[in-house]
Amino acid sequence: MAGLAGQNCDQPSGDNPRTVTIRANHPHHQLDGSQLTLRRPIYNERTFSQKYPPQQKSSKSAKDKLRGTFSSDKWNLQTLKNFFYGIVPIAYWLPRYQIKSDLFEDCLAGLTVGVLRIPHGMAHAVLATLPPVYGLYTNIFPQLIYAVFGTSRHVSIGTMAVISIMVGDAVEKAYQNIYGDEIKMNHPPEDEETERARIASTLALMVGLIQFLMCLLRVGIITNYLPEPLVRGFTTGAACHVFSSQFNHLFGIELDRYIGPFSLIKTYKPFLLNLGLTNPTTLLISFSALLILIFVKEFQDCIRDRFKWQLPVEMLVVVLGTLFSHLFNFEDKKVAVVGQIPNGSCLHSELHTFFLQPFIVTNDVITLSYIACRSNVHSARTACHSVYREIPLTVTGMLFGSHYVGALRGMFRQLTDIKKLWKYSKIDMTIWVVTFVFTVLMGLDIGLAIGIGYSIFTVILRSQWPQSCMLGQFGETGLYGDMKMFPDAKCIPGIKIFRIQSPLFFANAAYLKKALVLPSLLSTVVQPAEQNQTKEHSRNIDNLHRYTSLESTVGHNSNDVMLNHVIAHDSNHHSVETAIGDSNDRSDGCLLRTLIVDMSGVSFVDTVALNTLESIAQDYLAANAKVYLAECRSNVKHMLFTSGLVKSIDLEHIFLSVHDAVLHSQSMRVTNQAKSLDPEHPLTIEEFEVADSAC
């Protein structure tokens, strides 16, 4: 009945004594005569299931399910083929590939991505404290493996900045632990690059095994619990680490690499002290390349909708830098160059066994395996297989730094998320800020762990103190809304409508009990004076007829009530702005006879919450008041039936909608008043206020 503005009622037919007919005109469509006419009985759970019986679900035993899984009818040839295609998708799509229509565009796309991957991979290898050539290696084999086993035609598998810097931290820590004494004695290992590659290979193998185990156990679903603010805050904090790690390349300053908590602060101190040692040639080349990258990228973003092709500016910068380095002999000007890519294969025949045992329990591999589950094969960056022959490469190192800083512009733009999240959700904003701050200060692994812990903590807070409100009726519409948010939503005399917008379980059961506490059960309850009871009761009768006009005919059964329902509008009707028990309630002293709990926002309930609901229902019943449930979901109703709560809350007290529950409550009040002119006085709003303030 959304959008109703006015109601007119017809006399109900005698076939159904509890039928309500409502005709409503929409105020915005009065010119074209649009209107809504609704005529149906007041449905509770019992009457609705009798008229429209639900289909019973057939439940199979575990034995039957297991037998059906391995039945011969299910495992036929086509099923086996589909199973194989699911494991090796290339066997399905390659024979069906349209060469004439797709080959040219796919080759063009592959060439474009490949050109971009070359500088990306080399720069990422530098972040991982490995020679740039390993970036080329690891951009070859992941692509080939994903082409065979991958399922997406649009995913480009390769290296990643966050993974690279975390690999670099892990490799640096392990290298210091293994060769720390030799380094202090100025006797480093003969081939430092090979030792670092062995450590990184061992790390890649361990992460791959953990990732494979997580795949078998189907625990990748845990990444669904990483909210977007956490991920964006973490990547922005990681961008700060990546940016700071490029100072030595951008300025030509020799800086030590720091790992662990406060490593970023430790990096900035020697950088500022040695800023006077900047190499002018390196600074000029790096900032020139940086300006070119940023200008071209920003220009391409502006014309992206008009032009399909993108200029591979990263590759052009690397090619031009290599050319100028060779022509002008930058190496003689103390500009760092990469050197040459070795020919042949660098496949290591053994892993670092000394490194394998202590590294299993470090935080780095735990964090890397967790991210690897999210990033698929990004951890393959240390695969050391070479298919290249000798390639002369005298590209300057500061070009990698310029390329990296230019690529971080998108991550730094995520700082504007704070303003957006503050407007939409302050809790999400705190998740972003906490993750970002601790990632910057404490490092990537600790920052990610703290961010995840804080995110889970916010979920606990939200569930323990869920959103709830008291509902009032919008004039004559039969619609209901939060009385704090909508001043026009008015309290219905004698009826409280409480809505909870959260699952009900053990964590928030105490909150539900406190929100729906009945003041007559408290230790301090002020009873009205005997001489005022008759006067107060007369006023309640007047209020009842002022807001609700009900013509009732009472038969032998109290449920046989014929209603002609008209909700009249009264501008003097005060709204109740707070939940039950709030000392700011305002009313005319009408009797509190019915509590309606709107369950539309409750997705599930557990046994603790069910016991709490049962206790609340019994307390209200003892005070001569009733508890109705409205708009329960199917799984919630199943829990109500199986738990035995229907013994305290009868099926006739579970309604399909809040409006059905309100109409039923009003009909019962008229029936009781027709039976007796002096009904029992259960509770008044004034008593409620005094009792609550006394608590």
pLDDT tens readout for residues 605-649: 988 988 888 888 888 888 888 889 999 988 888 888 877 766 667
In this prediction, residue 695 carries a pLDDT of 37
Q: CA-CA-CA-CA torsion for 73, 79, 80, 85, nearest 10 degrees?
A: -170
pLDDT tens column, 298-311: 887 777 777 766 77
203-207, 261-265, 524-528, range with the lowest pLDDT: 524-528
Work out the average pLDDT over 536-545: 43
Q: Supply the DSSP symbol for 222.
A: G
Range ranked top by mean pLDDT from 25-34, 116-125, 291-300: 291-300
In this prediction, residue 434 carries a pLDDT of 96
pLDDT tens column, 6-21: 334 343 333 444 555 5
Work out the average pLDDT over 395-407: 63
What is the pLDDT confidence band of residue 598, given thresholds at 50, 70 and 90? very high
Place of tokens 């349209």: 98
pLDDT above 50 for 555: no
> pLDDT: is 678 or 415 the higher one?
415
In this prediction, residue 403 carries a pLDDT of 66
pLDDT above 90 for 433: yes
Share above pLDDT 90 across residues of the chain, in percent, rounded to a whole number: 10
> What is the rounded average pLDDT for all residues in the chain?
71
> pLDDT: is 677 or 603 the higher one?
603
Q: Looking at the chain, how many residues does it have?
A: 695
> pLDDT: is 583 or 108 the higher one?
108
CA distances from 268 to 248, 253, 400, 407 (A): 11, 12, 20, 21
In this prediction, residue 185 carries a pLDDT of 61
pLDDT tens column, 439-461: 999 988 899 999 999 998 998 88
- Which two three-digit tokens encode residue 272? 């500022």
In this prediction, residue 168 carries a pLDDT of 85
pLDDT tens column, 301-359: 777 777 766 777 777 777 787 787 777 777 766 676 665 555 554 544 455 544 444 43
pTM here? 0.67
In this prediction, residue 673 carries a pLDDT of 58
Strands (E), 414-467: none
> pLDDT: is 231 or 184 the higher one?
231
108-112, 113-117, 385-389, 395-399, range with the lowest pLDDT: 385-389
Q: What share of the chain is helix, strand, coil (3-state, %, to 5)?
A: 55, 10, 35
User: CA–CA separation, 283 vs 335, rounded Å?
Assistant: 10
Work out the average pLDDT over 687-692: 40
Structural domains of the chain sorted by starting position, each given as residue range(s) with its CATH number in brackets: 99-462 (no CATH), 467-694 (3.30.750.24)
> pLDDT: is 352 or 58 the higher one?
58
What stretches of 45-156 show up as alpha helix (H) in DSSP? 45-51, 62-69, 77-87, 90-93, 99-127, 133-137, 141-149
What stretches of 185-227 show up as alpha helix (H) in DSSP? 192-216
User: Is the CB of residue 524 less than 8 Å from the CB of residue 693?
Assistant: no
409-413, 429-433, 452-456, 556-560, range with the lowest pLDDT: 556-560
User: Is the CB of residue 201 less than 8 Å from the CB of residue 356?
Assistant: no
pLDDT tens column, 374-397: 333 333 343 333 323 333 344 445
Range ranked top by mean pLDDT from 225-239, 244-258, 541-555, 665-679: 225-239
User: CA–CA separation, 27 vs 33, rounded Å?
Assistant: 10
What is the pLDDT confidence band of residue 549, given thresholds at 50, 70 and 90? very low
> What is the separation of C-alpha 175 from the centre of its chain, rounded to a whole number of angstroms?
38
In this prediction, residue 401 carries a pLDDT of 65
In this prediction, residue 186 carries a pLDDT of 62
What is the pLDDT confidence band of residue 32, given thresholds at 50, 70 and 90? low
In this prediction, residue 588 carries a pLDDT of 41
Q: Supply the DSSP symbol for 369.
A: H
Spell out the long-range contacts of 686-690 with Cβ–Cβ below 8 A and sequence spacing 24 or more: 686/526, 686/528, 686/589, 687/519, 687/520, 687/525, 687/526, 687/527, 687/528, 688/519, 688/580, 688/581, 688/585, 688/592, 689/583, 689/585, 690/519, 690/524, 690/525, 690/526
